[in-house]
Amino acid sequence: MASWLNRQRKQTLLDLSREAGLVQDGNQLKEDIVDSLDAYLRQNATQLAHNSAFEQYYGSRRTPYKARSSSATVDMTADDAEVKSVVKGRGRRATKVKQELDDDHEHMPLAGSSNQPNHVSPVPTSTTTKRTPGRPRRQTQQLPPSPADVADLAEYESSQIFAGINDAISVSGIPRAIDSLREICSSVTGIQTAIQLVEAYALQTAVLPKIYITEITAVRGFGAPAIPIYFSDLFQLLTANFWLPTLLYATTSIFIPATLAYFCNLTVKDVKRHGARVSIARYPIDPLTFNVVKALLTWVVYGQDFMSGAVGADNVLTVRNAMFGGYQGVIIGCGVCILASLYEAAQRKV
């Protein structure tokens, strides 16, 4: 019975399910496991009734009710027969008494009699037939949950919450974006691009100074100071103070190194295709050559003031002071990219 199954522990129910041949998930609630096992045992009673593991289950289902039902039927049949006989006998007796009274009234004188007839009326007697009350059906008492059940419920709810969060994150596309960003940053091209962006930001803050626009007034009562708002002076885009340092940096750090790295590409390899030898480059611009040329130009132009008269000493000084760590910081960035290029090339050879 379900009451016998409810008294078992969750692990015992899982063992009984395996014994019966029913596969159940251990993450289900105990009530669901009991319902599934009870339905399965009812359906396969003929095969599992002789199994000693389910002797108490099928024994509690068979033994008490048939005997009780047969005895109750016999008792109720006997009681019904007794009631019928009593009612039948009393009915006949009342009819007989009524007939005798009618005969007495017929033989009584009708006139001149001081004696008044005695009126006898039968006193009806009522008897209450008592039925044997049926045995009350035993109800399953709802026991308070055990600590193991509470722990299982808490574990199930927490797993559902985390599953919902994981589904929401997967639908939003954040994991794919993170994987793509990681793939880009784990390459020589990603490292080179990051260093170039840092240098461009440093130069932009020098050639486009910030100007005061307005301020955000704090909420009264909190005592927080006002927050000033600054923005780049875009009018500098119309002056030579912006374009000359920018073109000088772009020439020494992008254009000349990229041109030489395109022609002096060490990643070019000869590959046979359809019987012909074809040259294929892994990178259109060799990162190793690019950073070597960039480091040399930075040291010559910004460290040795070479050609400062042609490009303007003020422009050289502006670019050198704008870089993080001066021109030495640019050379360090080139060294990092060179090491990354060599490491990647060594990995491909292994």
Q: What is the pLDDT of residues 195-215, one digit of tens each?
A: 999 999 999 999 998 898 888
Q: What's 276's DSSP letter?
A: E
- From residue 258, give the alpha-carbon distance in Å to each of 98, 203, 286, 290: 135, 20, 8, 6
Beta strands in the chain (DSSP E): 210-216, 227-232, 268-273, 276-281
> Cα 176 to the chain's mean position, in Å?
18
What secondary structure does DSSP assign to 248-263, as a single string?
A: HHHIIIIIHHHHHHHH
342's tokens:
């060599």
For 334, other C-beta atoms within 10 Å of its C-beta total 24
- From residue 346, give the alpha-carbon distance in Å to each of 18, 20, 287, 291, 340: 56, 60, 14, 18, 10
Q: How many CA atoms lie within 13 A of 242 on its CB side?
A: 12
Q: Which residues of the chain have pLDDT under 50?
A: 63-98, 100-101, 105-127
Q: How far apart are alpha carbons 128 and 131 in whole angstroms?
A: 9
pTM exceeds 0.85, yes or no: no
Residue-wise pLDDT for 122-149, tens only, equals 444 444 555 555 555 555 556 667 888 8
Amino acid at 122: P
Q: Based on C-alpha coordinates, what's the Rg of the chain?
A: 52
Residue-wise pLDDT for 294-332, tens only, equals 999 999 999 988 877 888 889 999 999 999 999 999 999
- From residue 36, give the alpha-carbon distance in Å to each of 32, 40, 42, 82, 207: 6, 6, 10, 48, 75
Q: How far apart are alpha carbons 92 and 40 in whole angstroms?
A: 59
Q: Is the dihedral of CA 6, 7, 9, 13 positive or negative?
A: negative
SS3 assignment, position 239: coil
